[in-house]
Structure 1
Amino acid sequence: MTDYTEEINNALTVLKRGGIILYPTDTVWGIGCDATNADAIDKIYKLKQRSEEKALICLVSDFKMLNQYVEDVPEVAYDILKYAAQPTTIIYDKPIRVAENLVGEDDTLGIRVTKDKFCQMLIRKMKKPLVSTSANISGQPTPESFHQIAPEILKGVDYVVNLQQSKKTSKPSAIIKLSNDGKVQVIRK
């Protein structure tokens, strides 16, 4: 197993002081910050030139953490995540304990239980969810590799995680909206 200690410690130092990082996820390269820090989330919106009406997602390390940040996780969510063939983000009703500017106008939040070892270890050590949005300017294509990330993104983050920079990324996660009233809607396959 790869020793991620140095990169986790470097990223954690930046995240704890309200900075934003560029890091590899279980899907694409992401821009991230502490999901409870509204000022850091604002920095991401500005860097991506993204409207605050367009929601961001966050990553949690496991089901236990998921339950700490969603008021009522529908039972079907566990089955969807257990049997999903690809990384899957679920949009939940009534997120709790995250920054208000991360929550959608309809009181929802997209959360993915990451299976990426680096992300899991970083999130566990931080003890908070990690914002995760693709490393591109809003409206531009999602980079398929680290080398396709725009210079303004690279310069705009406070730390670039030095891992997997030669690896081609996979496609963005599937997105499913699960409402507490039982409605299921596939947003992205």
Structure 2
Amino acid sequence: MKEEIEKAIQTLKQGGLILYPTDTVWGIGCDATNANAVRKVYNLKQREDNKALICLVNNYSMLERHVDNVPKMAYTILDIADKPTTVIYDSPAGIAENLVAKDNTLAIRIVDHKFCEKLIKYFGRPIVSTSANISGQPTPNSFKEISEAILKGVDYVVNLQNENKNAKPSTIIKLSNNGGVKIIRE
């Protein structure tokens, strides 16, 4: 695993795209602070850049560095969640501008996956995570379902094909600083 983390970090630092296992589905990832890398993700997925992407962090500390005001309710939701949960926050900070939605929000998940946690920890920055498919196509449930276009479109494929057991997208909840809560995806 150490070698895979090192190769993935090298690719991320160069502004490249990685294909990697997460706590949900296989993801296309890049440095969430690099606008050029984020643009490459949109291009590979053939996705309009007004459809926001998810960002992964490895702990509350990194979350707090990239959201101006984390609502107290977020901690409660994340502490009691029994499956991977992505929260959409108001007023993200220190993130590539083209990763932030037009309403000044950002979807962030504190990842619960050994490889991802270590990757993010040693990289020291959030990583984009979006399903490994062309926009509008079905989300692959396993590595072997990922299309050739995606496999050839990334700069590095993490060699941990047996790492992902969940194969379901995360729950998505939108929390507003004014106290609003909305479930986007269960």
Q: Could you say which TM-score interval applies, normalised by the shorter chain? A: over 0.9
Residue of 150, 159, 162 corresponding to 1:162: 159
2:104 aligned with 1:133: no
Q: Secondary structure at the match of 2:151?
A: helix
Asked whether the 8 Å contact 1:19–1:158 carries over to 2, the reply is yes
Counterpart for residue 59 of structure 1: 56
Q: Structure 2: which 5+ runs fail to align?
A: none
CA displacement at 1:61 relative to structure 2: 0.3
Counterpart for residue 180 of structure 1: 177
- What amino acid is aligned across from residue 114 of structure 2 in structure 1? K
Q: Which runs of 4+ in 1 moved over 6 A?
A: none
Cα distance between partner residues in 1 of 2:108 and 2:99? 11
2:45 aligned with 1:33: no
Counterpart for residue 108 of structure 2: 111
Q: Structure 1: which 5+ runs fail to align?
A: none
Counterpart for residue 69 of structure 1: 66
Cα distance between partner residues in 1 of 2:28 and 2:128? 7
Counterpart for residue 79 of structure 1: 76
CA displacement at 1:170 relative to structure 2: 2.2
Output one character per residue of 1:150-175: Cα deviation in whole Å (capped at 9) or x when no partner. 10000000000000347554210000
- What amino acid is aligned across from residue 21 of structure 1 in structure 2? I
Counterpart for residue 7 of structure 1: 4
CA RMSD of aligned residues (A): 0.9
Cα distance between partner residues in 2 of 1:146 and 1:58? 21
Aligned length: 186
Residue of 145, 154, 179 corresponding to 1:148: 145
Output one character per residue of 1:103-157: Cα deviation in whole Å (capped at 9) or x when no partner. 0000000000001010010001011000000000000000010000010000000
Asked whether the 8 Å contact 2:23–2:164 carries over to 1, the reply is no
TM-score, length-scaled by structure 1: 0.97
Cα distance between partner residues in 1 of 2:42 and 2:5? 24
Counterpart for residue 18 of structure 1: 15
Cα distance between partner residues in 2 of 1:167 and 1:185? 28
Cα distance between partner residues in 1 of 2:117 and 2:142? 21
